[in-house]
Structure 1
Amino acid sequence: MLNRKRSERAPNSHSHDTSLIARGTLIEGHVRFSGALHLDGQIVGSVLAEEAGAVFTLSESGHVQGEIRVPHAIINGQVRGDIHATERLELAAEARVVGDVHYQTLEMAAGAQVNGRMSHPTAELPRELPAPALGNAEAVPA
């Protein structure tokens, strides 16, 4: 099994591939990934997942200056930009986010900080109060 080529693997096995960007590494530009991406270094640019099951992990030594668009994000470092997590967002205790956060499911540890709006999509429309009935109201003494 260790000598099997990528083309011989199961169709969804690429979702288990993990890429690591080590501490001390700076990437300037957009990063697109599939599977899992673990960032200990720094990215100046967007982080974009190319598949539904992708996971982005930002360690406490990691930094992103740009937008993050992924299904599942685990943030424990610094982000200067908006985060869009279509499935799940985990903000660990050392997370520092300056930007808007959009999530489907959120887990936020004590100590995590967000300086921006937090937005959860709602499936239902806002409810409106019924209009008051006119003409049936009794006069209230003053």
Structure 2
Amino acid sequence: MWFSSKKAQPPIRSLVGEGTRLQGELRFRDGLRIDGEVQGDVVADNEAGSLLVISEKARVHGKVKAGHVIINGEVVGPVEALELLELQPKARIVGDVRYELLEMHPGALIEGELRPLKSPDRPALKLAASNNA
């Protein structure tokens, strides 16, 4: 089976709903979805096994750090994804971005430095498809 080594996503246990505005640091475990606005840092306590979803309607003004980060809204501040960073078509980031693996869709915008996290046991770049069998 394709992608059989892919591990299961952590459950989303917390939600910042649309129309909600939070001010201050937001820490979470497992999974968090943001549909509202956060003025402050959003950081996973268990960074290596966490999932953060910043929806199309969401705005975050502060540092973002988690294992798997999916962005389709706006982030003003640095972003760090320790496992995978997915930038959906409406993603807008103003700040430096660090990632282990990156998936970027057409339309996503980054105004800042884009740098991979260097891991000694993994290559910095892995191609999804190759002509060599």
State the superposition RMSD in angstroms: 1.2
- Bigger Rg over Cα: 1
Cα distance, 1:35 vs structure 2: 1.1
Match of 1:36 in 2: 31
Which of residues 22, 25, 28 in structure 2 aligns to 1:27? 22
Indicate yes or no: 2:5 matched with 1:16: no
Indicate yes or no: 2:102 matched with 1:112: no
Where in structure 2 are the equivalents of 1:39-58 lying within 5 Å?
A: 39-51=34-46, 52-58=48-54
Cα distance, 1:17 vs structure 2: 4.8
| Structure 2: gaps (5+ residues) | 1-9, 121-133
Distance in 2 (CA, whole Å) between partners of 1:23 and 1:123 is 37
| Structure 1: gaps (5+ residues) | 1-14, 125-142
Distance in 1 (CA, whole Å) between partners of 2:114 and 2:100 is 11
Distance in 1 (CA, whole Å) between partners of 2:11 and 2:41 is 22
TM-score in terms of structure 2 length: 0.79
Cα distance, 1:122 vs structure 2: 3.3
Deviation digits for residues 28-84 of structure 1, max 9, x if unmatched?
A: 000000011000000000001011211000000000000001111000000000001
Q: What is the total number of aligned residue pairs between the two structures? A: 110
Cα distance, 1:16 vs structure 2: 2.6
Q: Which runs of 4+ in 1 moved over 4 A?
A: none
Distance in 1 (CA, whole Å) between partners of 2:82 and 2:16 is 23
Match of 2:68 in 1: 72
Percent of paired sites with the same residue = 40
Match of 2:88 in 1: 92
TM-score in terms of structure 1 length: 0.74
